[in-house]
Copies of this chain bind each other. A is one copy, B any other.
Amino acid sequence: MSCFAVRTDLALEEGERVRDLGEKIHGVVLEEEEHRESRVRVTRVKIETKNGSRLMGKPVGTYVTLEAPSLAEQDEGYHREVSEELACQLRRMMPGGKEEQSVLVVGLGNRAVTADSLGPRVADQLFVNRHVMQQFGKAAYNREKMHQISCLVPGVMAQTGMESAEIIRGVVRETQPDFLIVVDALAARSTRRLNRTVQISDSGIYPGSGVGNHRSALNRETMGVPVLSVGVPTVVDAATIVGDAMEQMERENGLRMTAREHPRAVSELNNMYVTGKDIDEMIRRISYTVSEGLNIALDPEREVLNP
């Protein structure tokens, strides 16, 4: 999870926060998509300039957010709707147009930490075919058109002793995919986003939160091929949630407190996170929804909603 050091991984939340502060954001465009029959709300944040990037604390690029209020519920039909919408938005961002491509899907995160296991679990449920295509071609599937799909779960640095970026770059050089799709658990600022939001981006992923650590970045520059990312917020940083409540109280009561005056509770929240009581079940369900979205997007014979 690239999340744990930053206050939010969601460009949408950062946009809302900046807007709430009454600041103008030059170089950032927010579009909400009017959405058809689907019950999924789609918002597009484009960070277009360096200034926008600085203000938002996120790299230049497009960030598409799907909000699906009842994603957390056990409604199979609804989950399918989210998978379809995810597939549709992913297709729009996939490079290479209508050609056949080879795609490496990467499941980031730690399989042994529930809140961080989204990436590995999506990978577990992905349809892969590269090994069959390499040996027998599309004939093996009796298909006219097919992408070559492979999938990697690199593990986390504390387990491997290597940056995820090192492992992925090695595999990219060896197997030469046309582009990457990286799946990861995210941190949100508000519990309202948990487990019901999916963010797709073409700006890359910056484990440890983009503090200029070039070795660990996963983007076109470091990988040599385009990098799409798909993320779902599964936790809220506990210090953030208490801090936000403090700020709101101060604002509404005209107080001005320094960080040192903040209640002791806040400093104790280091390394703590807030999450739902049903997180184990939630991760299980959402990883299926996301993997289905990828499986649909990566099957060129499947049509998606107005792509």
Contacts and interface: CB of A to CB of B under 8 A. Distances in A.
Interface in A129-165: 129-132, 148-153, 155, 157-163
Given A170-B171, A238-B241, A242-B245, A272 B191 contact: yes
A38 interface: no
Interface string A252-283: 11010100011111101101111111111100
A246 interface: yes
A43 interface: no
Contact of A112 (B150, B249, B280): B280
A192 interface: yes
A263 B249 contact: yes
B175 A170 contact: yes
Interface residues of A, number: 69
Contact of A113 (B153, B242, B277): B277
A248 B275 contact: no
**Tally of this chain's copies:** 4
A174 to B, nearest CB: 3
The winner among A124, A132, A166 for most chain B CB atoms within 10 A is A166
Contacts of A302: none
A128 interface: yes
B162 A171 contact: yes
A173 interface: yes
A131 B208 CA distance: 14
Contacts of A172: 170
Contacts of A244: 263, 265
Contacts of A112: 124, 280-281
A152 B167 contact: yes
A268 B191 contact: yes
Given A191-B238, A246-B249, A272-B276, 15 more contacts: A113-B281, A131-B158, A131-B162, A131-B163, A150-B161, A166-B171, A166-B174, A169-B170, A191-B268, A191-B272, A238-B241, A238-B274, A241-B269, A245-B263, A253-B255
The 3 A-B pairs with the shortest beta carbon distances in the complex, nearest first, are: A170-B174, A170-B170, A130-B161
Interface of A: 4, 112-115, 123-124, 128-132, 148-153, 155, 157-163, 166-167, 169-175, 190-192, 238, 241-242, 244-246, 248-249, 252-253, 255, 257, 261-266, 268-269, 271-281
17 contacts: A113-B281, A114-B280, A128-B158, A129-B161, A131-B157, A148-B161, A151-B160, A167-B170, A169-B174, A173-B173, A190-B265, A191-B238, A192-B268, A238-B238, A245-B262, A248-B264, A272-B275
